[in-house]
Structure 1
Amino acid sequence: MRRFLKRLHWMDYVVVVVLAAFFGYVWIQIEGSLNYSWRWEQIPNYIVRYHTTREEWFANLLLQGLITTIRVSIYASVLALFLGTVLGIARCSDNLTVRMLARTYLEVLRNIPPVVVVFVFFFFLSEQLIQALNIESWARAIARQDNKGIWEFFFGDMRRFPSLVSGVIVLALFESAFVGEIVRAGIQSVDRGQREAARSIGMSRWQEMRYVVLPQAISRVLPPMANQFITLIKDSSIISLISVQELTFKTVELVSSTHMIFEAWLTTAAFYFVLCFGLSMLFRRLERR
């Protein structure tokens, strides 16, 4: 802490004072002009709450939404990483048709607003896929079972499993376009001479990509890939529009039922900040190693 304070410049203190004054002004305006009554003491009950009948603590609305956000982000990031890697490799293919198809997919998704992409994929792809695979009936059958603990640990309430799948698919398809460009840039950053050397010793295109290009590209794309994962967490709030009950969706429910507008949204913002900032610190440490 002392080292940190020694590194601070006098301008840093000025910025802190200005920010404190700004937030103090906003606070006064909310209480005075809007005649708003703060109810911060009720917020903890909507994070965790004690069940008097069962005599145990349980996750309430905000914590439920946060857990769903983490689940969706993890599953969508894994799927987006797989799809994005395939798209990135396809963008560097010698085959013109494969290269143009991958580029068309990437350019279309990267230049359309995410809200539009979410609705298009939801109504024309994920819903059709869920119906074709009969996922809803399968999830309801599991929800009626007694030994469903392991399923609920990984996927939450199985009655809402179809909406979780929809959110993961929609988010992964959208984010894979950005992951694909990151992978493409990493592959093309590898010196061409190394590829030619790999081919000169008899390596196939696949062996060249697997043993020479991708190991170097992975280390180069790690920082932007980590940043994209953090962006995915923030973008997960978009899927609340298709009724996926993640943190933003639960916050809307809380605000509509209690009218604690500022308390609920500030708490949600704090959750997102802690989650994203914690991951950025973790990824920064991994990059240094």
Structure 2
Amino acid sequence: MPFFKRLKLADYLILAVLAGLIGYVVLTIEGKLNYEWRWELIPNYILRYREDQEVWFANLLLQGLIATIRISIYASVLALILGTILGIARTAENLTVRMLARTYLELLRNIPPVVIVFIFFFFLSQQLIDALNLNSWARGIARSENAAIWEFFFGDMRRFPGLVSGVIVLALFESAFVGEIVRAGIQSVPKGQREAARSIGMTRFQELRHIVLPQAFRKIVPPMANQFITLIKDSSIISLISIQELTYKTVELVASTRLIFEAWITTAAFYFVICFSLSMLFRRFERRN
């Protein structure tokens, strides 16, 4: 047990205080709020057995967790693409390009994400969905024979337009932070290397591709990993526009069963497990590099 061997007396005291605090909160909820814990019901809302078909299926909380993972992955990829473009634009030689990129970054970084979500949803999202005719396309896919393949990647295709809205608004918001991380990475590369690249006839694109970006991305792995974990937590915000991810499903569960503390504690545990696991994974990746 190497982990417990590393613990000292102070660590045990901290663990004891935390255990006492948790016990106090539980007793307070039971006593003052007269709350009856019903933890035995929670597993049924994660996985449920359907007796008529003799199969297990994902219930509310697991459905929301899967949706959160999907949205986080797609939004992270899009935010990385947009953020890289913005970071490169922030270091461009053209003043207009730099100012446009900075305006976008400063605007999104200094407006609360909830406001951004509502502005995008009510003023841009529906127009984009109508312009691309996503509603009728998604309904057609839902009725097709290949619907299972699409549902594996995107979930219920009838809710695909909502998924698109959630992914885009998250990516737009997070790309502002990714852009600043990329800019800092690019500017950390010594100017002498860029000047040497130009002296041997490299174009700006070749300089970025072969010299600057490979070094920059190695340096920005830690803050980029942290931003990806932040994006997972920020994904709960899009529940406000009825995107059926984990937080939205938890609200539904609480409203229908009154399992207030059990549902929210379980949801918090899901977020913690995902974010902590990614943190450990990225830490190992950093050590190898």
TM-score by length of 2: 0.99
2:182 is aligned to 183
Q: After TM superposition, give the deviation of residue 128 of structure 1 in Å.
A: 1.2
2:285 is aligned to 286
**Paired residue secondary structure (1:50):** strand
Matching of residues 55-70 of structure 1 within 5 Å: 55-70=54-69
2:241 is aligned to 242
Cα deviation, 1:188-229, whole Å, max 9, x if unaligned, reads: 000001011111111111111111000100100111111100
Q: 2: CA distance between counterparts of 1:62 and 1:7?
A: 36
1:267 is aligned to 266
Tell me how many residue pairs correspond in the alignment.
288
Q: 2: CA distance between counterparts of 1:206 and 1:147?
A: 41
Say if 2:176 is the partner of 1:171: no
- Letter matched to residue 239 of structure 2: S
Q: After TM superposition, give the deviation of residue 147 of structure 1 in Å.
A: 2.5
Cα deviation, 1:36-78, whole Å, max 9, x if unaligned, reads: 0000000000000001111100000000000000000000000
Matching of residues 1-289 of structure 1 within 5 Å: 1=1, 3-289=2-288
Q: After TM superposition, give the deviation of residue 266 of structure 1 in Å.
A: 0.2
Q: After TM superposition, give the deviation of residue 6 of structure 1 in Å.
A: 2.3
Q: 2: CA distance between counterparts of 1:166 and 1:109?
A: 17
- Letter matched to residue 38 of structure 1: W
- Letter matched to residue 31 of structure 1: E
Q: 2: CA distance between counterparts of 1:37 and 1:4?
A: 36
Q: 2: CA distance between counterparts of 1:124 and 1:87?
A: 23
Q: 1: CA distance between counterparts of 2:220 and 2:271?
A: 24
Q: After TM superposition, give the deviation of residue 146 of structure 1 in Å.
A: 2.7
- Letter matched to residue 80 of structure 1: A
**Paired residue secondary structure (2:187):** helix
Q: Which moved more, 1:41-50 or 1:116-125?
A: 116-125
Q: After TM superposition, give the deviation of residue 122 of structure 1 in Å.
A: 1.4
Cα deviation, 1:150-204, whole Å, max 9, x if unaligned, reads: 0000000000001000000000000000000000000000000101111111111
Cα deviation, 1:1-27, whole Å, max 9, x if unaligned, reads: 2x2222212111111111111110000
Give the CA RMSD over aligned residues: 0.7
TM-score by length of 1: 0.99
Q: 2: CA distance between counterparts of 1:101 and 1:147?
A: 43
* 5+ long unaligned stretches in structure 1: none
Q: After TM superposition, give the deviation of residue 125 of structure 1 in Å.
A: 1.9
- Letter matched to residue 181 of structure 2: I
Q: 1: CA distance between counterparts of 2:273 and 2:127?
A: 36
Q: After TM superposition, give the deviation of residue 121 of structure 1 in Å.
A: 1.4
Identity over the aligned pairs, expressed in percent?
77
Structure 1 stretches (4+) deviating beyond 3 angstroms?
Answer: none
**Paired residue secondary structure (2:220):** helix
**Paired residue secondary structure (1:94):** coil
- Letter matched to residue 44 of structure 2: N
Q: 1: CA distance between counterparts of 2:189 and 2:127?
A: 40
